[in-house]
């Protein structure tokens, strides 16, 4: 494994949730595997007044709370925390950046390393333009052989619509080059998402079938059983379309649908994803009305416990029209996928936590075994389980032993957990390491982000005129407005895959 060059990581938003829950635990895991540079330091930047000592103390405790650290790791945790520093800063105030510059210079001198620096923006998005500008004005964006490289990681959300995403791109490009900008989409860091590429392009058996001749439809489900978990204030201005579809799920579509890349490199992979996004059929008003279903969870009882509705959540308006569920059908107009429906179903407060891609293969061209009941044997399915219980499942028909030719579905099932001694890195672990190594393959490119926004923008536009399409209410713990969602499949005999049954029987869905 190549080790990253010596460097410093500066995290803006260091007193926030992401830092303690994901970033620091991910970097600690890298430390445990000896994957960090020999000389390395992290400077946390935040508004909260803290010094190095107290930041270390806090992160030390948080590593046990949110990370993988166990009491046996005490020495490692203590050593790791020695690499942490803190700079209190009002990020909107240009003058204060000299404090950061001083701190960085001091550390560079102490470590005696070139100024290789990653700046990680984990702040509210309203600061995504101002921080890079202030870094530039303080001379902290210069990247060259003598002064070391500079990279900028930008967390999601990347804009709230097409216009704002374009504006943000333009603004970032004033101060950093495209090859310095790493737009994070943590789904691309998931091992199983990357495994889509390996499944497709390292095996001879799947790719020949991977097209309109053999695939009936592709279904992507991303269901969460939790609600908005105290993030109501953010979520009520976002909704699941912006929160999950525009970024994470379209990135999965990109990997499922792309042509074989020339090589595994940032340029080739991202060019191929871009071509998929460019081939997404634009949604007209009629398509949005017919093929995009939106819904919001309402209160229900799950396993005897009352679960609040979305509008009862803190930070959510009493008459909110924000969607917590979306199901949609769309097409990719290119040679490979012409006429194959792609289906997405995503939401909060659904019956279980699961993200999976289901590739439904076409039926055999001729039915030989006439007494097959559709309940026993369906179309062949390849299920790519992204989380949890990561793995691959192939469903196919086999003969029931005994007289006649009864067919029933059986599974060939691979679970990552069956691999011995394999550490499944967290998404942030993988992505942070890639950025430290200067590999942007699994980061979103600016133009692709814009094209993804271009695709979802017509949906936002139609929904803005609120009365045009219904907003359904679904009892928390159910699969959403199921009749409507099933209606997206053009054949009554077809259905979605349900990884688990409804958990709540509290009434039907209704229009809100």
Which residues sit at the interface with ligand BG6, rule CB under 6 A? 156, 186, 224, 243, 355
Residues in CB range of 90: below 8 A, 6 or more apart: 47, 96
Minimum distance between the CB of residue 212 and ligand BG6, rounded to whole angstroms?
A: 29
With respect to ligand BG6, which residue has the nearer C-beta, 156 or 349? 156
Distance from C-alpha of 2 to C-alpha of 151, rounded to nearest angstrom: 19
Distance from C-alpha of 209 to C-alpha of 164, rounded to nearest angstrom: 39
Name residue 43's beta-bridge partners.
Answer: 10, 85
**Cis peptide bond upstream of 151, omega within 30:** no
Residues in CB range of 185: below 8 A, 6 or more apart: 156, 247, 248, 251, 443, 444
Minimum distance between the CB of residue 405 and ligand BG6, rounded to whole angstroms?
A: 42
Q: Tell me 212's DSSP state.
A: T
Instruction: Answer yes or no: are the C-beta atoms of 330 and 282 closer than 8 Å.
Output: no
With respect to ligand BG6, which residue has the nearer C-beta, 156 or 377? 156
Q: Which two tokens stand for residue 427?
A: 């998404």
Active-site residue, from 186, 248, 360, 377: 248
In this structure, the number of other CB atoms found within 10 A of the CB of residue 72 comes to 8
Minimum distance between the CB of residue 184 and ligand BG6, rounded to whole angstroms?
A: 10
With respect to ligand BG6, which residue has the nearer C-beta, 134 or 355? 355
With respect to ligand BG6, which residue has the nearer C-beta, 234 or 331? 234
Instruction: Answer yes or no: are the C-beta atoms of 443 and 451 closer than 8 Å.
Output: no
Straight-line distance from the first to the last Cα atom of the chain, in angstroms, rounded to the nearest whole number: 54
Distance from C-alpha of 202 to C-alpha of 211, rounded to nearest angstrom: 17
Minimum distance between the CB of residue 377 and ligand BG6, rounded to whole angstroms?
A: 32
Distance from C-alpha of 400 to C-alpha of 396, rounded to nearest angstrom: 12
Establish whether 248 is a catalytic residue. yes
With respect to ligand BG6, which residue has the nearer C-beta, 73 or 224? 224
Give me the active site residues, please: 248
């Amino acid at each position: 494994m190549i080790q990253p060059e010596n460097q410093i990581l500066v995290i803006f938003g260091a007193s926030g949730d992401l830092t303690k829950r994901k970033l620091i635990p991910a970097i600690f895991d890298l430390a445990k595997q000896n994957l960090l540079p020999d000389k390395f330091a992290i400077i946390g930047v935040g508004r909260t007044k803290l010094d190095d000592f107290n930041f270390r103390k806090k992160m030390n405790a948080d590593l046990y709370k949110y990370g993988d650290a166990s009491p046996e790791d005490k020495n490692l945790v203590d050593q790791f925390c020695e690499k942490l520093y803190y700079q209190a800063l009002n990020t909107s105030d240009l003058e204060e950046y000299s404090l950061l510059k001083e701190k960085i210079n001091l550390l560079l001198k102490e470590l005696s390393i070139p100024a290789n620096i990653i700046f990680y923006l984990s702040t509210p998005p309203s600061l995504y333009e101002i921080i890079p500008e202030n870094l530039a004005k303080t001379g902290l964006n210069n990247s060259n052989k003598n002064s070391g490289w500079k990279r900028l990681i930008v967390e999601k959300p990347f804009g709230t619509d097409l216009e704002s995403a374009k504006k943000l791109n333009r603004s970032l490009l004033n101060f950093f080059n495209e090859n310095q900008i790493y737009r994070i989409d943590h789904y691309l860091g998931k091992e199983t998402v990357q495994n889509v590429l390996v499944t497709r392009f390292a095996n001879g058996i799947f790719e020949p079938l991977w097209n309109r001749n053999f695939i009936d439809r592709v279904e992507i489900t991303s269901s969460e059983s939790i609600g908005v978990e105290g993030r109501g204030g953010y979520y009520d201005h976002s909704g699941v379309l912006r929160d999950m579809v525009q970024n994470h799920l379209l990135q999965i579509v990109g990997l499922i649908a792309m042509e074989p890349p020339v090589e595994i490199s940032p340029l080739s992979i991202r060019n191929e994803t871009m071509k998929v996004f460019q081939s997404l059929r634009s949604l007209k008003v009629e398509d949005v009305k017919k093929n995009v279903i939106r819904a919001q969870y309402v209160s229900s009882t799950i396993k005897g416990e009352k679960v609040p509705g979305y509008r009862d959540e803190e930070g959510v308006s009493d008459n909110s029209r924000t969607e917590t569920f979306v199901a949609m059908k769309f097409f990719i107009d290119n040679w490979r996928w012409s006429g194959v429906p792609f289906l997405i179903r995503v939401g909060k407060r659904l019956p279980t936590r699961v993200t999976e891609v289901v590739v439904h293969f076409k039926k055999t061209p001729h039915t030989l075994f006439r007494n097959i009941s559709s309940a026993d044997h369906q179309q062949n399915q390849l299920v790519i389980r992204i989380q949890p219980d990561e793995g691959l499942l192939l469903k196919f028909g086999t003969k029931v032993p005994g007289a006649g030719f009864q067919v029933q579905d059986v599974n060939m099932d691979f679970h990552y957990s069956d691999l011995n001694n394999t550490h499944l890195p967290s998404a942030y672990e993988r992505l942070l390491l890639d950025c430290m190594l200067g590999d942007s393959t699994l980061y979103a490119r600016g133009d692709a982000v814009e094209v993804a926004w271009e695709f979802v923008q017509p949906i936002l536009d139609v929904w803005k005129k609120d009365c045009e399409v219904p907003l359904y209410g679904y009892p928390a713990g159910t699969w959403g407005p199921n009749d409507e969602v099933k209606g997206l499949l053009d054949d009554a005999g077809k259905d979605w895959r349900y990884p688990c049954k409804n958990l709540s029987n509290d009434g039907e869905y209704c229009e809100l």
